[in-house]
A and B are shown apart, each in its own frame.
Chain A
Amino acid sequence: MWCPDWPVVAWRRIDPGLAGRAVAVLEPAAGAPVVRAASTEARAEGVRAGLRRREAEARCPELVIVDADPLAEARTFEIVARAVESLAPRLELDRPGRLAFPTRGPSRYFGGDEALVHRVLAAVRSTGVDDVRVGVADGRFAAQLAARGPGPGATRVVSAGESAPFLGPWPVGALRLVGAAPSADTRGDEDALGALADLLVRLGLPTLAALSSLSEAAMAGRFGSVGRRAHRLARGLDEYPPALTVPPPDLVEIAELDPPATRLDVAAFAAKAMADRFTEALADRGLACTRVVVEAETEHGESLARCWRHDGALGATALAERVRWQLEGWLAAPAPGSDIVATLDPRAAQDAAAGAIEGTTGGITSLRLVPDAVVPATGRQLGFWGNDPAAADRAARALARVQGLLGPTAVATPVLQGGRSPAERVRWVPWGEPREPARADRGPGDRPAWPGRVPDPAPARVYEPPRPAELLDEAGRPVTVTGRGECAAPPAFVRSDVLPDGGGRVVAWAGPWPQDLRWWDRLTRRRHARWQVLTDRGTAALVVLDSGRAGVEAVYD
């Protein structure tokens, strides 16, 4: 079952004002944020996933852009999952917006696949989600493609044994769809399938039928484990051979929370440590987990379980993220047998994110991670951290704990990148994420690529946005800069709250350094002028004048 563009659906439930408007959800990617999902209105204007923000805005000027909120997506999807769960047990959630379940039992009960599909449609629509598509086929990949019907409510049932012929005409690019929600430690895995798909097209294998006509041994021999996965998918089999390894029972990871966790961040933090131990125990046996059941129990004996699957092995971070999604989801959806009202009020969501678990009738007393399907780990090379591995572990744990307290983006590490102002030259990367600059610092041929950059030394305090300031001439009038980049009178006084004693007389200065940025684009064009100033107190600062307003951009502290 698939709800296309779930991030948009989730946002519309939070903010009903977005209904009927062109909406795009941005996801922070390495480099500039890109569009992850777009509403049908936006798609009609040509907005596609993977576009950069400016490109998307250029195609559709009235586009409303919102940031991706995985927790809200998980929370709203939980309501849908509950509705489907009333029809079929053993749900497996891929990511918010997509779930799968075995149909054999439920189909018999409801009288055939078609009948089941229509019941699922009705159940999902009863939760207020209109755009839902259902596909039935042998194997998850085929079902996923079958669910990509032409419009809301589309269904497709591929009868048993017909999956391979059904898959045949699809282009190999469909392999890209296998990816689940991307996360830092699995992204490489999905890129591998995508890259392989590109290569296969160039090798003259445009369709899945062409791919499956090769022998599995040939694919495995030429492309390794990725090739084997692709070949299995193309034949309509599951990605990994089923029941390859029966999960050893002693790998179940249990955490008793005493006192019971009544705050989401406490539970999530416990989950992070559990996920680390869990993946470590698996790794000791040379295994990796592709499907995991997360179970939680509250003080009042309510038990909530959900199965999560992931294409490629679940890393500790991805696992902890899913536990968090699930706990977040339970806050909104009523627990079975309890009288809690579902709440999708954004303020409640913020409260929940900030702390108290509202809705469930008690604190969470225990969390269990049960491996449901495991595969041999293909190995992953850990980064080289430093001289003392124990110190590296200690630092990683401490910083993860702070991230648990304040949220992942609160702990950041600077990465230098290209840019003109001191603020532009740094990208703050959340701790643990790939350290990649958004813009190159050097141009082709290692030439400096940023003319007009503020010269070194770099200021130790950078204010973004600049703090309000006044830059005055001898007569007490604001200093202005003409269109030609000349100023009528030299600066004599600077005043701002960030300077000691509120600023003072300017004893030395350099500037103005005018800049006309993005002059080719009427909307984002910016003109400003900068000065380095030194006050009589010995404070050096970078003052910027932007559309007539002065500000202290940085202090050389």
Chain B
Amino acid sequence: MPAAERVLPLPGDLARAFSGGGVQRGSVVALDGDPGTGVTSVALRLAAATTEVGEWAAIVDLDGSIGGVAAAEAGVTLERLAMVRGVPGDRWASVVAALVDGCSLVVAEVPRRCRAGDARRLVARSRERGVVLVALGPWPADVTVGLRTTTSDWTGLEVGGGLLAERSVRVEVTEHGTTRSDVLAS
């Protein structure tokens, strides 16, 4: 594989967060953060970067709550986005494994009781297939890049008026054992 193809290019400020301007294919990105801090938006932007280059992205959405309009606003080409909704816990690992076989990027919400063995197997499988696995939630296995959203700063909404307009998401990026902070506009 040529060097350029080993990295999934990311747009704008997201590229800054990752060393090398993109995500290494075959790596595992652990994405975590409280609801409301922008963690889902970051996941959708990663999916958008995948469909942008004409490849397929899949999202495992445990409670079926990820918004389709938000996906479109994040820039996802919806024809190449598969959303797997309502996955029973005992089938989760086989579903993610099947998705890793076919898509370039798989965002998988991690169920509360995810076995470390399953997680390790998925890490090995995505490395072998050259697939970016984005684990959404606490991940009990190896991680290439860790991304943790801490807070979102919103502008536009006031006391009794205005509208939500823009926000910036504060993230902590852990890579090669060091942690640094960054701010993403979205």
Contact = CB atoms under 8 A, between A and B. Distances in A.
- Chains A and B bind each other: yes
A460 B74 CA distance: 9
Contacts of B70: 422, 457-460, 462
B21 to A, nearest CB: 21
A391 B95 contact: no
B119 interface: no
A395 B36 CA distance: 31
B87 A422 contact: no
B103 to A, nearest CB: 6
Contact of B67 (A412, A541, A554): A554
B153 interface: yes
B35 A402 contact: no
A330 B82 CA distance: 33
A508 B159 contact: yes
B128 interface: no
A410 B40 contact: no
Interface string B136-177: 000000000000000111100111111111010000000000
Interface stretch (B7-15, B22-30, B53-61, B110-118): B53-61
A198 B116 CA distance: 62
A205 B66 CA distance: 53
B94 interface: yes
Nearest to B67: A462
A306 B158 CA distance: 68
Interface stretch (A175-183, A338-346, A423-431, A515-523): A423-431
B178 interface: no
Interface residues of A, number: 58
Interface stretch (A222-230, A362-370, A532-540): A532-540
A411 B35 contact: no
The prevalent SS among residues of B at the interface is mixed
B48 interface: no
B84 to A, nearest CB: 5
Contact of B54 (A386, A413, A416): A386
A499 B36 contact: yes
A217 interface: no
Contacts of B38: 557
The prevalent SS among residues of A at the interface is mixed
Interface string B76-101: 00111111111110010011001101
Nearest to B101: A398
A534 B56 contact: no
A460 B41 CA distance: 6
Contacts of A174: none
B65 to A, nearest CB: 5
A456 interface: yes
Contacts of A413: 78-79, 81-83
Contact of B95 (A388, A394, A406, A557): A406
Contacts of A397: 101-102
Interface string B30-57: 0000111111110010000000001110
Contact of B163 (A507, A532, A557): A532
A365 to B, nearest CB: 23
A459 B74 CA distance: 11
B126 interface: no
A425 B69 contact: yes
Contact of B69 (A458, A507, A540): A458
Contacts of B132: none
A538 B149 CA distance: 12
A490 B160 contact: yes
A425 B70 CA distance: 10
B20 interface: no
A163 B167 CA distance: 73
Contact of B154 (A412, A426, A459, A534): A534
Contacts of A459: 67, 70
B85 A412 contact: yes
Residue of B54, B56, B162 contacting most chain A CB atoms (<10 Å): B56
B72 A416 contact: yes
Given A510-B160, A539-B35, A391 B154 contact: no
A509 B87 contact: no
A489 B70 CA distance: 31
B157 A540 contact: yes
Nearest to A557: B40
Given A395-B56, A540-B154, A402 B162 contact: no
Contact of B68 (A388, A401, A428, A555): A428
Interface string A429-466: 00100010000000000000000000111111111100
Contact of B85 (A415, A428, A510, A556): A428
Residue of A388, A510, A532 contacting most chain B CB atoms (<10 Å): A510
A165 interface: no
A392 B56 CA distance: 8
A398 B85 contact: no
A386 to B, nearest CB: 5
B102 A394 contact: yes
Given A410-B86, A416-B69, A534-B164, A540 B36 contact: yes
Residue of A422, A458, A554 contacting most chain B CB atoms (<10 Å): A458
Interface string A457-500: 11111111000000000000000000000000010000000111
Given A387-B54, A457-B70, A557-B41, 18 more contacts: A395-B56, A398-B99, A405-B94, A405-B98, A411-B84, A412-B85, A414-B81, A415-B68, A416-B72, A425-B68, A499-B35, A510-B160, A510-B161, A510-B163, A532-B164, A538-B153, A539-B34, A541-B36
23 contacts: A386-B54, A398-B103, A399-B99, A402-B84, A410-B84, A413-B83, A415-B78, A416-B78, A456-B73, A457-B165, A490-B160, A499-B36, A500-B35, A508-B154, A508-B162, A509-B160, A510-B162, A510-B163, A537-B36, A540-B167, A556-B152, A557-B35, A557-B40
Interface of A: 386-388, 391-392, 394-399, 401-402, 405-406, 410-416, 422, 425-426, 428, 431, 435, 455-464, 490, 498-500, 507-510, 532, 534-535, 537-541, 554-557
Interface of B: 34-41, 44, 54-56, 58, 65-74, 78-88, 91, 94-95, 98-99, 101-104, 151-154, 157-165, 167
Give the 3 A-B residue pairs with the shortest CB-CB distance, closest first. Answer: A398-B102, A414-B68, A539-B36
